[in-house]
A and B are shown apart, each in its own frame.
Chain A
């Protein structure tokens, strides 16, 4: 018989008892398609979060595509005209 180290910890036991889990209803089987849909629907980290949260980041986000496009147009003009 194992010694129960939690036996002498009634308060810790009561705290651990507070950790309930609600089990959702789900079938025994699923399809790969369902898994894919769940993956698509799950929230993911915003890749622009680190840019937007920095001061001036939002402005940079607006300007960078315009500057990039202008640069590409210039390159295009230099090489092909």
Chain B
């Protein structure tokens, strides 16, 4: 499956525009899901996926398969764009709080902690590790490359995140 992605990328680097469409069709969904689960902001997630593919097009010759899978390469671009945008948004929010778009809030009336809330409550870097590991089947080494942290840190943060998720969803665990 992944081989296709690398093949399509090679074709795109040689000028095949259809190959880019195929890549977009294949990788739009995982990229969007990762960003959305991280930020819970639909418009921001769309913007980041589009910016990621813009960046891929602008620097298409920068990708080399020896450096790793194309999927990881795109996740790395998307993660960096997301962190930059979120930091910029935080600064903007402190200056002009009423101009910052508010993400759609889901029902706050439910007392029970949902898995979405529990994931959102995780510290940023732990959330990224869990999302990449569980929802995108990324090996710890690839996660380390995407997040630009040592592999040992990925392991410890994954364990910490699992512990916290279990704690947050404690009520559910008791009920099971």
Interface residues of A (CB under 8 A from B): 2, 5-6, 9, 11-13, 15-16, 18-19, 21, 23-24, 26-30, 35, 38-39, 42-47
Interface residues of B (CB under 8 A from A): 20-21, 24, 28-29, 32-33, 36-37, 42-43, 46-47, 49-50, 53-54, 97-102, 104, 115-116, 118-119, 133-135, 139-141, 158-159, 162, 165-166, 169, 172-173, 176
A23 to B176 CA separation, bound complex (whole angstroms) = 30
Main secondary structure of the interface of B (DSSP, over half): helix
- Whether A15 contacts B169 by the Cβ 8 Å rule is yes
The distance from the CB of B127 to the nearest CB of chain A, in whole angstroms, is 12
Describe A's contact surface by its main secondary structure.
loop
Cross-chain contact of A45 among B49, B98, B119, B140 (Cβ < 8 A): B98
A44 touches B29 (CB 8 A): no
The reply to whether A16 and B50 contact each other, CB–CB distance below 8 Å, is: no
Q: Kindly identify which residue among B33, B36, B101, B133 contacts A43, using a CB–CB cutoff of 8 Å.
A: B101
Q: In the bound complex, how far is the Cα of B165 from the Cα of A44, in angstroms?
A: 30
